[in-house]
Amino acid sequence: MGYLTHLFGSSNTVDVIELFLMNQDEYMNLSDIADRLKKTPGSIVHVIPYLVGNGVLLSVPVSKSRAVYRLNKGNQLVKHLLDFNKKVLEDLDSEAIKSLTVVKHEA
């Protein structure tokens, strides 16, 4: 078990965190998150309240029953994760980066 999995829980949780770390300025709804991770909304719906409750994600209501989410860059843990993520990506050579599976939205 990796330290992120130990710290945050299930691999779905880690997948969601990684998605937001790689797309840190984007707002995403549940369907966007599921689509980008190639998972069903039902498989990640429980992860979102957990991450919002822990301050990792911010929830922004867009209607009575819908919200979008974004990384909470004001959270101290998120700041450390962003710094770690940046350092890891800077330290990897281009061949290593090509071999990574990174979920990033192409505009």
**Tens digit of pLDDT for each residue in 46-60?**
999 999 999 999 999
Could you give the angle at which helices 11-22 and 30-37 cross, rounded to 10 degrees?
100
Predicted local distance difference test score (pLDDT) of residue 2:
47
**Tens digit of pLDDT for each residue in 6-30?**
556 558 998 899 899 989 999 999 9
pTM of the model: 0.76
Instruction: Map tokens 């990384």 to a residue.
Output: 71
For 107, the token pair is 């505009």
**Tens digit of pLDDT for each residue in 81-98?**
999 888 877 776 555 555
Q: Which of 65, 46, 48 is nearest to 56 (CA)?
A: 48
Domain ranges of the chain: 3-99
CATH code linked to domain 3-99 = 1.10.10.10
